[in-house]
């Protein structure tokens, strides 16, 4: 048995909910969620810096409006208009290396470009870690990035930490926005999150632009909060961080600050 829940955004700042029937889903995995209904909204202007670890290149935003969740645990998938979010497998090592080996992709990460052998180890580790999501194009199933969403302690507070890395080859097409907004919408609406936080280096303007585009608030500027390397004298190289967050009332409640997709479907086995 499966339960399907459909919700639409409304209120100030939300995407208009204009419905049309959707066709067959060639990327479907697991049990069918039934006939898909697809909410379509007109494109809106997008500022420069819209992709990458968070920004773009000045094209119009493509509003994606249907999210389908299927399966549970290691078999859980999330599908948006153009993307499939799935769990990692041990076979993803070469695909991880394709973008984690690029200096531009990891410029603001606590590690440098990753060798192929390390990426195979990462794929194996992430296959056993439910916090990581592989972001794939539905058109050809190519792995183009990863999301990280960890439930923090104490778990009773329902607070999550968000992170992401995307292949520079797909920056500027709205994929980072689509993937991140899709996962956050499921996190708040289906998993009952109260709060989601994210940090980014203040120099990473693409990432801060993405978080602000999602409607997250900048809550602080942490000075010299982390050191991932040392200088020639062995002294730590300290880095600042911006802190962003969204809470459940902003995402789907009365405040309506954030702009989740106009419609989504959630299907889980019972």
> How confident is the model at residue 1, as a pLDDT?
24
**How many other β-carbons are positioned within 10 Å of the β-carbon of residue 62?**
16
> How confident is the model at residue 221, as a pLDDT?
96
**The pair of three-digit structure tokens given for residue 261, joined into one six-digit string:** 């997709």
**The pair of three-digit structure tokens given for residue 236, joined into one six-digit string:** 């730590």
Q: Which distant-in-sequence residues (6+ apart) come within 8 Å of 77 by Cβ?
A: 29, 30, 69, 70, 71, 84, 85, 86, 87
Show the CA angle centred on residue 55, arms to residues 150 and 90, nearest 5°. Answer: 45
> How confident is the model at residue 181, as a pLDDT?
93
Distance of alpha carbon 164 from alpha carbon 147, whole angstroms: 4
Q: How confident is the model at residue 234 (pLDDT cuts 50, 70, 90)?
A: confident
Q: How confident is the model at residue 28 (pLDDT cuts 50, 70, 90)?
A: very low
CB 206 within 8 A of CB 104: no
Closest of 127, 264, 129, 125 to residue 187, by C-alpha: 264
Q: How confident is the model at residue 16 (pLDDT cuts 50, 70, 90)?
A: very low
Give the mean pLDDT of 39-63. 38
Owning domain of residue 60: 2-269
Q: For residues 69 and 147, which has the higher predicted lDDT (pLDDT)? A: 147
Residue 198's alpha-carbon distances to 73, 75, 97, 208, 214, in angstroms, are 24, 26, 24, 10, 12
Q: How confident is the model at residue 223 (pLDDT cuts 50, 70, 90)?
A: very high
> Please, what is the average pLDDT of the chain?
75
Give the mean pLDDT of 197-206. 96
Alpha carbon 66 to chain centroid distance? Answer: 15
| Element spanning 242, H or E | strand 236-247
Alpha carbon 36 to chain centroid distance? Answer: 22
Q: What is the pLDDT of residues 107-125, one digit of tens each?
A: 999 899 999 999 999 999 9
Does residue 178 surpass a pLDDT of 80? yes
Does residue 64 surpass a pLDDT of 80? no
CB 85 within 8 A of CB 79: yes
Alpha carbon 53 to chain centroid distance? Answer: 11
pTM score above 0.85: no
Q: How many structural domains comprise the chain?
A: 1
Give the mean pLDDT of 188-201. 95
Residue 204's alpha-carbon distances to 135, 148, 228, 238, 254, in angstroms, are 21, 18, 16, 15, 31
Distance of alpha carbon 20 from alpha carbon 48, whole angstroms: 30
Q: For residues 237 and 259, which has the higher predicted lDDT (pLDDT)? A: 237
> How confident is the model at residue 217, as a pLDDT?
96
Show the CA angle centred on residue 228, arms to residues 226 and 232, nearest 5°. Answer: 115
Rg of the chain (C-alpha set): 18
Max mean pLDDT range (5-14, 19-28, 228-237) = 228-237
Closest of 230, 227, 251 to residue 238, by C-alpha: 227
The CATH number assigned to the domain holding 25 equals: 3.40.630.30
Q: Which residue has the tokens 């600042």?
A: 240
Does residue 228 surpass a pLDDT of 60? yes
């Amino acid at each position: 048995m499966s339960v399907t829940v459909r919700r639409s955004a409304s209120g100030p700042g939300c995407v208009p909910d204009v419905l049309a029937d959707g066709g067959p889903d060639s990327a479907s995995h697991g049990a069918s969620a039934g006939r898909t209904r697809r909410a379509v909204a007109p494109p809106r202007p997008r500022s420069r810096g819209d992709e990458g670890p968070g920004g773009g290149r000045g094209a119009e935003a493509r509003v994606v409006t249907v999210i389908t969740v299927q399966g549970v645990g290691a078999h859980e998938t999330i599908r948006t208009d153009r993307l499939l979010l799935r769990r990692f497998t041990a076979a993803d090592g070469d695909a991880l290396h394709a973008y984690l080996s690029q200096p531009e992709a990891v410029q603001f990460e606590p590690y440098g470009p990753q060798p192929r052998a390390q990426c195979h180890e990462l794929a194996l580790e992430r296959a056993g870690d439910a916090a990581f999501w592989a972001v794939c194009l539905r058109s050809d199933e190519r792995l183009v990035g990863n999301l990280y969403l960890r439930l923090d302690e104490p778990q009773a507070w329902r607070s999550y930490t968000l992170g992401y890395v995307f292949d520079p080859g797909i920056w500027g097409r709205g994929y980072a926005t689509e993937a991140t907004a899709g996962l956050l919408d499921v996190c708040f609406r289906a998993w009952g999150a109260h709060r989601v936080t994210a940090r980014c280096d203040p120099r990473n303007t693409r990432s801060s632009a993405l978080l602000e585009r999602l409607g997250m608030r900048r809550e602080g500027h942490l000075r010299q909060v982390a050191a991932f390397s040392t200088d020639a004298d062995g002294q730590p190289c300290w880095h600042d961080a911006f802190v962003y967050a969204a809470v459940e009332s902003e995402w789907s409640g009365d405040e309506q600050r954030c702009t989740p997709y106009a419609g989504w479907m959630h299907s889980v086995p019972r």
